[in-house]
Structure 1
């Protein structure tokens, strides 16, 4: 049989359930590979004791022998993103203020992953407090890109994406406020899926206001991503904005011949891109044309600077209020990263009228995008504005000669879908001249999660990027 760690999660689950592989053999194979590779890329943190994990794998094997399977993930190793709570596992959020926090509960999607049979082996690394798309923090250090260990793995799901690319994880969860499932997917040549807002419920303190972020799946194949989304998704009364479950299993490729795709590109020159990025993504569009789809460039009919202003206001407002207690305590404030202080201090000055104005911008943008979906089945953008950058750099300070005036301005390409809760699949676009990966994001109409996964599967079948794995 092919090496265990190279199997897709779907094939791995099938092999376990057919008893072709024991859960113990799977766990040992992953622990061996983690031991060899994780010290180099630093994707998994707070790795649990190997003997305890092997013992749990033995228990999973006994259950199967007795005819009892807990689900798709039965006996499979899984590391939860370190921004989500998993009962009994340290959850640091990448911050020294919470480095010793061990929750006594699971977040909703985490509990569903556990119930589906996963064995939690540890956490995946994140930026401090999840801020920024480069996974480094003062507790665990920097996660490095498996394709070039001198480069960033992106973030905030950087540990998850790097772990998938390096084959030290079969599947991973992530979260996405400002591209955190999409940017690292592109940086690591894997798949990230940002579900429609509400598709994956969460225990969010800001139930009614915190509508910019969502949890979601990451994987090495579209089928794997769909399988994990099926586990994570569905209504939960603890999240009143959560959506009913939609069947995303057994997805099939779409017939692309009648599809109309809008290419948003750089929004008519509004967004700067690093050398070669737009060219590479435009080459990826040829895949859709070769399948018979119509691809047209979409000229912006919306003031994108206005959208950025609305985005900053909403983000400042949410981050400032969720971190108000730490800011009020001078000793704890001293431990906050500069980017977080900047968000809080800008958010503290906001008036109700400012937040309302941002909401109006958001509503106007939603109506504009709905108009686009009257003409196009899907919209496509690059998943990042630059290729993976130097891991020692906190963020790109300049793109194409244009200075980045905030720590996250270089990620502006991802805010459009986030602002209005659209489903988005981040898929590989290929590799640049220096061998570094990049990606595209395929955006679907509101709540069209299944259809976005189906066009993603169509694209996956027509390309071979996902088979190009990093060398170790």
Structure 2
């Protein structure tokens, strides 16, 4: 088969479990694809080709003896470089861990291995996953397959670029302040930030941490659901277990969206600046949802205290996880991380108590919103993919960025709510750059959210538009003609 790189994870696994494709063949095609297209985008930064082929051979041997090894039998996959893979260089994008080789897998990697995944390497990240632009002093910058001079987003930017470039169909990202959703928007793929604990993410130093999530990224919603069935479920390491079973993911999608109530906000009710092309993408999505029968009205969750909840909680998490390193070796850590850690150390008891109260009020407002609406639709990012030589955008639509997080506020505000949120492709700008939207549901309604997304995906097909890659593997700028390739009028 010569088109394996275009197939979804669901299709590849089906072929392998039917005995029509071996894991060795799939893995060889995956490694060949990395060699062919990775150079210009720098998405994959560590490759274990020999080990991957050995693991694929073992998957084939076990299949011959006893059948499929799991829900993701034989599927080749690189892992995010902030996730520890036993025996494989895992750097966190930091000079402090440039040669680090862990002796055990993180829980998400262990679950994917148990589901049958063949680990092949690591995808690039910003240092310690901080910020939504993927660059670091160990491996350099990851760029966008649709425009190789532009950012791929972050911190799961290496994975997003690999998905868009057809290096692999599925992978695990993580998301504290948009690290799944912004790169998904930038690279024309889907990315899910699940409800708390649905995919367990145990904290080594804070068992009660709630802001960060592990979530899948893929080119199809069906693959997102496949991942959730493979990786969700209870974990002994968690203090509380999520009230959602892995078997809930999938099932039949509705024929249309009649009866679904969607609130939409262009500025989150807070005057958040958003570039015009991203607002145009939101308008396209609204038109699609309306054409599918949904009721769409301008409405927003009251997010007036979300900035505080996000900012203080993130600072606590950074000081908890990286405070010792910053205190002992600040010269090895980028300034944005130092700033976040120092903010955490500066929080006093009164501030923490007031932030906890603010988080409680925020949840009351979330519940009030969902008494009237089923979903919340917002811009996928505030900006288009920007110049990859920048650390972060200096302004958004003329509004100056005071910190490296300001341009990510569209994602951070939703992180503060804890809601399950899916980033979805929303077509292309007039300049040919990908755009996206975010769709949020109430806590633990992740399966319903994904079923609605499948209806939207079927009506649009935005993610099927691949970046233009020349015969010699060179990735070139996407043509502006793509801007109208999937206009909402196509579904009216």
Counterpart for residue 401 of structure 1: 398
Equivalents in 2 of 1:457, 1:248: separation in Å? 15
Please report how far the alpha carbon of residue 299 of structure 1 lies from its aligned counterpart in structure 2 after TM superposition: 5.2
Pair 1:190–1:417, CA change in 2 (3 A): same
TM-superposition CA deviations, 1:214-237 (whole Å, max 9, x none):
101111111101111111111111
Matches within 5 A, 1:231-250: 231-244=230-243, 245-250=245-250
Counterpart for residue 252 of structure 2: 252
Counterpart for residue 278 of structure 1: 279
Report the 3-state secondary structure (helix = DSSP H, G, I; strand = E; otherwise coil) of the residue aligned with 1:202.
coil
**Does residue 1:25 correspond to 2:22, yes or no?**
no
Report the 3-state secondary structure (helix = DSSP H, G, I; strand = E; otherwise coil) of the residue aligned with 2:332.
coil
Equivalents in 1 of 2:74, 2:401: separation in Å? 45
Matches within 5 A, 1:199-238: 199-238=198-237
Question: What's the TM-score once normalised by structure 2's chain length?
Answer: 0.92
Equivalents in 2 of 1:444, 1:252: separation in Å? 18
**Does residue 1:155 correspond to 2:154, yes or no?**
yes
**Does residue 1:362 correspond to 2:363, yes or no?**
no
Pair 1:101–1:402, CA change in 2 (3 A): same
Instruction: List runs of 5+ in structure 1 lacking aligned partners.
Output: none
Please report how far the alpha carbon of residue 319 of structure 1 lies from its aligned counterpart in structure 2 after TM superposition: 0.7
Pair 1:70–1:167, CA change in 2 (3 A): same
**Does residue 1:314 correspond to 2:313, yes or no?**
yes
Pair 1:397–1:197, CA change in 2 (3 A): same
TM-superposition CA deviations, 1:392-433 (whole Å, max 9, x none):
011011011110111011011112331132111110011001
Matches within 5 A, 1:29-428: 29-48=29-48, 50-244=49-243, 245-254=245-254, 255-268=256-269, 270-298=271-299, 301-303=302-304, 306-329=305-328, 332-428=329-425
Pair 1:177–1:300, CA change in 2 (3 A): closer
TM-superposition CA deviations, 1:320-352 (whole Å, max 9, x none):
2322211221xx111110101111222221101
TM-superposition CA deviations, 1:94-143 (whole Å, max 9, x none):
11001122111111121110011111001111000110000100001111
Q: CA RMSD in A?
A: 1.5
Matches within 5 A, 1:450-465: 450-465=447-462
Residues 41, 161 of structure 2: 8 Å contact kept: yes
Counterpart for residue 487 of structure 2: none
Equivalents in 2 of 1:22, 1:462: separation in Å? 33
Residues 300, 376 of structure 2: 8 Å contact kept: no
Residues 51, 120 of structure 2: 8 Å contact kept: no
TM-superposition CA deviations, 1:262-311 (whole Å, max 9, x none):
002213461101232112211111111001110001156452xx421332
Residues 206, 320 of structure 2: 8 Å contact kept: no
Counterpart for residue 463 of structure 2: 466
Residues 252, 457 of structure 1: 8 Å contact kept: no
Equivalents in 1 of 2:154, 2:16: separation in Å? 31
Report the count of equivalent residues.
467
Please report how far the alpha carbon of residue 462 of structure 1 lies from its aligned counterpart in structure 2 after TM superposition: 0.9
Please report how far the alpha carbon of residue 2 of structure 1 lies from its aligned counterpart in structure 2 after TM superposition: 6.2
Equivalents in 2 of 1:242, 1:214: separation in Å? 14
